Copies of this chain bind each other. A is one copy, B any other.
Amino acid sequence: MTIYSVKNMPRTPEQNKEIREKTRRSIMDNALKLFATKGFHGTSMADVAKEAGVSKGLAYNYFKSKDDIAHSIINEIMVVGDQIVMMMQKIDDPVEQLHTMINYTFGFLDENEQYWRLYISFVLQPEVANMSSEIMLKFAKNMFHALEDIFTRIGIKNVKEEARYIGALIDGITLHYYFDKENYPLKSVLKLLHSKYSREALEMLK
């Protein structure tokens, strides 16, 4: 009796659930990768299915449309992002919090590349994929609030502007890094960044 005779045995509900989650994950991951590099409209469902190693029919079993995949991905980005923000907020010292935020952002640059590319693309071209940017806007606002909160607690002046300022800095560096990863002097730029937000430097902003 070989392992293949198993396939005629009914699966347990747990097995089914596991399979479903794995497949769904694979579709989303591969769709993300493709959407991020080729664009949403530049990627076909056939591309996604092939990349995920499933049939086109099955992909529609998990998502009711191509839009639905995009929505699910963006949603997930938002949720994960919010979780990270919340996690950060558990740190007491605001300066440490700030640096942790920076470190986290740039420590997972390669892991988050596709998410970020897709997110920014949708931000820049809101008509693509009918993405109501509401949810993305709200997410961005959360980010800025978190930064404002940090700066308030540090006690500097121009809290709102400084929050926008460092936010821009982080996204700008990210953008430039992704544009030319091989040649970007990430390490030394980050060193400069940290030095500009060292405790002493922050004192000057009070």
Contact = CB atoms under 8 A, between A and B. Distances in A.
A125 interface: yes
Contact of A124 (B8, B136, B169, B178): B178
A13 interface: no
Contact of A37 (B125, B160, B189): B125
Contact of A164 (B3, B55, B168, B185): B185
Interface of chain A, main secondary structure: helix
Given A39-B125, A42-B127, A117-B125, A165 B179 contact: no
A77 to B, nearest CB: 15
A59 to B, nearest CB: 14
A128 interface: yes
A94 interface: no
Nearest to A176: B168
A10 B123 CA distance: 40
Nearest to A192: B161
Contact of A180 (B39, B55, B127, B140): B140
Interface string A158-191: 1011101101111111011011100011001101
29 contacts: A3-B8, A36-B124, A37-B127, A38-B125, A38-B127, A39-B39, A39-B42, A39-B121, A39-B125, A39-B128, A41-B41, A42-B127, A42-B128, A120-B120, A120-B124, A121-B121, A121-B124, A124-B178, A124-B179, A136-B179, A140-B179, A158-B188, A165-B193, A165-B196, A168-B173, A169-B172, A170-B172, A172-B173, A172-B175
Interface of A: 3, 8, 10, 36-42, 55, 117, 120-121, 123-128, 133, 136-137, 140, 158, 160-162, 164-165, 167-173, 175-176, 178-180, 184-185, 188-189, 191-193, 196
